[in-house]
Chains A and B, each alone.
Chain A
Amino acid sequence: MSTETIPSLNPARMAVFPTRGRISWFEIGLLLICLALVMSGIASNLQDVLLLSFLFGGLALAWNIAGGYAGLISFGHSAFFGVGAYTSTILAVRYGVTPWIGIWIGALIAAVFGAILALICARLRGPFFILSTLAFAEVVRIGALNWSSLTGGAEGLSIMPAPDLLGMVFASKTTYAALMLFYLVAVYAITKGLEASRFGYYLFAIRDNEDAAGAAGVDPLLGRTAALALSAALTGIGGSLFAQYFLYLDPTYVISPELSFQFALLPAVGGLGTAIGPVLGSFLITPLSELLRSYLGSSAAGLHLVIYSFGLIVVMLYFPAGLAGALEKLTRRGRSP
């Protein structure tokens, strides 16, 4: 029995649960539920949770291209997030460039930052690579703090909260939710395409055994650089979208280790190196952390972190391969009764 890797949309042959490089009923069902949630007029604070789940789902998928597929575990992705957010915002606030264009320029600059990080860390592996990514993001954060003529420094940058289509500022949260869902679906489609492509296989090879990849004619440094550049570009787009929704940027939040850890955590909980994993991770963790923060934040400060961490330990203990791993077990049970 060989697994088909050519993306297939033939409903008769479509799998129920997600498989690599192919669309399944599960994914279509999940998309329909997301669309329905966007359209239904749910309460405003729940809409915040919904659109953040979409945004962080996309960001987790972007991180997963480097961390899950190419094995480049990064704790510095908030640097790319910040570069994207600051680029589109500076272009809009200072130079009057619409974010609809600024977002792509931000993605491009974030990609350059990603490539630079890959080249700096060309010879570093494992913990040495991870620590270097953490340091890289700190350098970017300190740079953003001190270059205040451009970034506004510690005071931050604000976007005019006047709804304007050209300025990508909207009055209704439904519009934002739709925008974030579009971002999530786009990054998901890129990930699925990657899984079924030669480039995707190159990344698996580099992750699993670099010596063997080299012996097969794959250039490991080129692969790592391309993977990190793509991952950074997609993270940068997420940063720009966040800025358009939050309308305020400051380096200590946008380029923080906490945010970097969050990007890495969601795929780890959901399932590294799978497409559905980071999405499930975000759909579980983002609402949990947001709801715990809003319900417990005032009465018992810090308690939400305790509950949150406890939940994480449970997931790591019982689903070491993440939520996607649990889903795969279901698939196997379905096949062999």
Chain B
Amino acid sequence: MSALLEVRHISRAFRTTLAVDDVSFEVQPGELLGLIGPNGAGKSTLFNLIAGVIAPSSGQIIFDGKPIQGWKSHDIARVGVARTFQIPKPYRQLSVIENVMLSAFLREKSVAGARKLAETTLADVGLAGYGGSPASSLTVGLLKRLEVARALAMRPKLVLFDEIMAGLTPTEVGAMTKFVAGLPARGITVIWVEHVLYAIMKTATRMIVVNRGKKIAEGTPAELARHPEVVKAYLGEEMDLA
């Protein structure tokens, strides 16, 4: 089986700092890959490189057989990569359903078709009753769900979740964890950055740990919980591994 995403020796420098330093990994179709690391480790930069928000200084990114490094973000979106934003970026003057319709247009060209796909997606993430509300009226928890709905309405092959649990109540975290865990079975491969470690350790099929721009470990959640480098990277930060 060939990989859906291959990241080969990718680096990105901001002035003299290497935010991402020679990182390589593969994602197989149907995987739920967890990406963890302390604050400032380079997780979001890595996402922005894959999603085309910034271009890599060196290295290759192969998605679905195509080298996509340096592509514009809208072109990467069109080949099947969706992403959420760590800080939600809704279209504030539009309603919730219109926010999702804009993603649905990628697959449904008619307004009526996009509306239908958006309605289904909203129900999927538990926002069924909010379609007509202005996006600006949503709470943080609901905005995170809207981010997820917008990504999924694109019917992506690969979705990048950037801290979709931050700001959620424990009950919401439970529901969202269950929801994300079900995505690979629906043909959606997931790369997931998360600070709420117990959620991601429970769900991910495989994990990658980054620190100071470098990949320091890779393996199943159980393997990583015993990995000395990982424990060291998190020492004094968060000890709630597993």
Interface residue ranges, A against B (CB under 8 Å): 1-3, 5-6, 196-198, 201-202, 204-205, 207-209, 211-220, 273
**1/0 contact string of B81-94 vs chain A (CB within 8 Å):** 01101000111111
Contact of B150 among A2, A3, A212 (CB under 8 A): A212
Q: Which residues of A lie under 8 Å from residue B101 when comparing CB positions? A: 201
Q: Which B-chain residue is minimally distant from A196 (CB atoms)?
A: B111
Contact of B78 among A5, A208, A217 (CB under 8 A): A217
Bound Cα distance from A166 to B105, whole angstroms: 45
Bound Cα distance from A198 to B94, whole angstroms: 14
* Closest chain B CB from A267 CB (angstroms): 15
Size category, B interface:
35 or more
Q: Which residues of B lie under 8 Å from residue A207 when comparing CB positions? A: 93
Contact of B176 with A by CB under 8 A: no
Do B109 and A198 have beta carbons less than 8 Å apart?
yes
Q: Which residues of B lie under 8 Å from residue A5 when comparing CB positions? A: 111, 115
Do A217 and B89 have beta carbons less than 8 Å apart?
no
Q: Which residues of A lie under 8 Å from residue B44 when comparing CB positions? A: none
Q: Which residues of A lie under 8 Å from residue B73 when comparing CB positions? A: 211, 214-215
Do A216 and B132 have beta carbons less than 8 Å apart?
no
Q: Which residues of B lie under 8 Å from residue A3 when comparing CB positions? A: 95, 132
Contact of B91 among A2, A6, A209 (CB under 8 A): A209
* Closest chain B CB from A32 CB (angstroms): 29
Q: Which B-chain residue is minimally distant from A212 (CB atoms)?
A: B89
Contact of A208 among B53, B93, B105 (CB under 8 A): B93
Bound Cα distance from A1 to B112, whole angstroms: 16
Do B90 and A201 have beta carbons less than 8 Å apart?
no
Do A6 and B111 have beta carbons less than 8 Å apart?
yes
Q: Which B-chain residue is minimally distant from A3 (CB atoms)?
A: B132
**1/0 contact string of B136-155 vs chain A (CB within 8 Å):** 00000000000000100010
Do B72 and A218 have beta carbons less than 8 Å apart?
no
Contact of B168 with A by CB under 8 A: no
Bound Cα distance from A213 to B77, whole angstroms: 10
Could you list 26 examples of A-B contacts with CB < 8 Å? Answer: A2-B115, A2-B119, A198-B105, A198-B109, A198-B110, A198-B114, A204-B94, A205-B94, A208-B90, A208-B94, A209-B92, A214-B72, A214-B73, A215-B73, A215-B77, A215-B83, A215-B85, A216-B103, A216-B105, A216-B106, A217-B74, A217-B103, A217-B105, A217-B154, A218-B105, A220-B74
Q: Which of A6, A196, A209, A273 has the most CB of B within 10 A?
A: A209
Contact of A201 among B78, B85, B102, B131 (CB under 8 A): B102
Contact of B97 with A by CB under 8 A: yes
Bound Cα distance from A209 to B136, whole angstroms: 13
Do A204 and B91 have beta carbons less than 8 Å apart?
yes
Q: Name B163-186 residues within 8 Å CB distance of A.
A: none
Bound Cα distance from A216 to B51, whole angstroms: 11
* Closest chain A CB from B88 CB (angstroms): 9
Do B106 and A2 have beta carbons less than 8 Å apart?
no
Q: Which residues of A lie under 8 Å from residue B111 when comparing CB positions? A: 5-6, 196-198, 201
Q: Which residues of A lie under 8 Å from residue B132 when comparing CB positions? A: 1-3
Q: Which residues of B lie under 8 Å from residue A198 when comparing CB positions? A: 105, 109-111, 114
Do B91 and A205 have beta carbons less than 8 Å apart?
yes
Do A218 and B74 have beta carbons less than 8 Å apart?
yes
Q: Which residues of A lie under 8 Å from residue B52 when comparing CB positions? A: 214
Bound Cα distance from A214 to B131, whole angstroms: 22
Bound Cα distance from A198 to B105, whole angstroms: 7
With A197-B111, A198-B109, A201-B98 as contacts: A215 and B91 at CB distance below 8 Å: no
